[in-house]
Amino acid sequence: MDFHYQELSAQKMEEIIKQVSQKYLTREASLHIEEKGVSNFVTEADKAIEKGIKEELSRLYPWIQFLGEEGEDQNVDFSGAVWILDPIDGTANFIHDLRHSCLSLALAINKEVVFGIIYHYYTGECFYAKKGMGAYLNGSPIHVSSVKELKYSLASFGTSPYYKEEAEGICDNLKKVYLLCEDIRRFGSAALELSYVACGRIDLYLEKGLKPWDYAAAIILIQEAGGTITDYQGHPIDVSKPCDILAGNGVVEKKLLEAITL
Ligand code: LIP
């Protein structure tokens, strides 16, 4: 199939996301909950949105594989083209009606993310980027912040609630970052926190043990917005695997790694 990711329309993708999700994002759906593990939940809405998006993408792009957070079959060949979807990033927020959750969708070709879209279900903000073509919020170009010093940095810190057994190390890192930065924030949706790095609302983001569907779309968003996104040692990410994620505006994350070991 002669397919060029540059031809993907973010506007068309946003319309599909709205059309599929609007009928499922209800309080009723948020109360039908299954417990997947410690602090790890899935609702009827997560499953229904993933099913609907998968059907639409399979209809439009039948040659592209699909990997979703809620799917049974998560075996894909990452040497090819793969959609990577989190239907509701911030499921705990959704369950608690905190109104801070999003859909995150990425396209990776041979493990390189070339397209990403992150749609905030409650504000309607739509972040998107294509490789080599810039990063945008509702059609306007976005760029990471210009903050140069850690003491003036707002750091969003993901607390990895699925991994309570690692609380000691997570809280040690939280204290280190808290003491070096201006302040800490925690919003409960990795994809939105990473989008906020891309548009300069926050300067740093860290979270241990994120899955590809949490961070994949944000990789291209942050790269096209002038920032960096790596593992906790500053190394490139393998989008086929869970990863400890460190993202920033290209300056302060490097200073953080010079100052501490995560
Ligand atoms: C969540 C992330 C959040 C993280 C949670 C979970 P989900 O994604 O957005 O930052 O702390 O452990 O991974 O499960 O709501 O799609």
Q: Is 86 in the pocket of ligand 1 (CB under 6 A)?
A: yes
Share the mean pLDDT of the chain. 96
CB of 90 sitting under 6 A from ligand 1: yes
The pLDDT value recorded for residue 239 is 98
Ligand 1 geometric centre to CA of 217 (Å): 14
Share above pLDDT 70 across residues of the chain, in percent, rounded to a whole number:
100
Give me the mean pLDDT over the 207-226 stretch. Answer: 98
Distance (Å) from CA 50 to ligand 1 centroid: 16
Q: Whose CA is nearest to atom 16 of ligand 1?
A: 89
Whether residue 207 has its Cβ less than 6 Å from ligand 1: yes
Closest Cα partner for 157 from 149, 145, 169?
Answer: 169
Structural tokens at position 24: 């499922």
- How much is the average pLDDT of 15-38? 90
- Residue with the smallest CA separation from ligand 1 atom 5 is 160
- 104, 113 Cβ separation under 8 angstroms: no
Query: Can you give the pLDDT at residue 3?
Result: 79
Q: Does the pTM of the predicted model rise above 0.85?
A: yes
Atom of ligand 1 minimally distant from the CA of 187: 10
Using CA positions, which residue lies closest to atom 10 of ligand 1? 190
Which residue in 28, 17, 81, 82 sits closest to 53, CA to CA? 17
Using the mean position of ligand 1's atoms as its centre, give its distance from the Cα of residue 2 in Å. Answer: 35
pLDDT tens digits, one per residue of 113-135 = 999 999 999 999 999 999 999 99
Identify which of 43, 70, 91, 93 to mutate to test ligand 1's pocket (most ligand atoms within 8 A of the CB).
91
Contact 129, 224 (CB under 8 A): yes
Max distance between CA atoms of the chain, in angstroms, equals 52
Q: What is the mean pLDDT of residues 181-194?
A: 98
- Per-residue pLDDT, averaged over 97-121, amounts to 98
Q: What mean pLDDT comes out for the span 197-218? A: 98
CB 151, CB 240: distance < 8 Å: no
pLDDT attached to residue 30: 83
- Whether pLDDT at 53 is above 80: yes
> What would the mean pLDDT of 175-181 be, rounded to a whole number?
98
Question: What percentage of the chain has pLDDT greater than the value 90?
Answer: 88
**158 Cβ inside 6 Å of ligand 1:** yes
Q: In whole angstroms, what is the distance from residue 34 CA to residue 36 CA? A: 6
Burial readout 163-186 (b: 16 or more C-beta within 10 A, e: otherwise): beeeeeebeebbeebeebbeebee
Q: Which of 163, 166, 173, 210 to mutate to test the pocket of ligand 1 (most atoms within 8 A of CB)?
A: 210
3-state helix, strand, coil in the chain (%, to 5): 35, 25, 35
Q: What is the whole-number distance in angstroms between the Cα of residue 1 and the centre of ligand 1?
A: 35
- CA of 41, closest atom in ligand 1: 14
Instruction: Kindly indicate the confidence band of residue 161, based on its pLDDT and cuts at 50, 70 and 90.
Output: very high
Judged against a pLDDT cut of 70, whether residue 17 lies above it is answered with yes
Q: What pLDDT shows up at residue 39?
A: 84
Domains of the chain in sequence order: 5-141 (3.30.540.10), 150-259 (3.40.190.80)
Q: pLDDT band for position 207 (50/70/90)?
A: very high
pLDDT score, position 31: 86
Which carries the bigger pLDDT value, residue 232 or residue 75? Answer: 232
Give the Å distance between the CA of 255 and the centre of ligand 1.
Answer: 26
pLDDT of residue 1: 59
How confident is the model over 172-194, as a mean pLDDT?
98
For residues 5 and 2, the model is more confident at: 5
189 lines ligand 1 (CB under 6 A): yes
Measured in Å, residue 161 CA sits from the centre of ligand 1 at 8
Tokens of 242: 């869970």
- Nearest of 204, 193, 190 to residue 246 by alpha carbon: 204
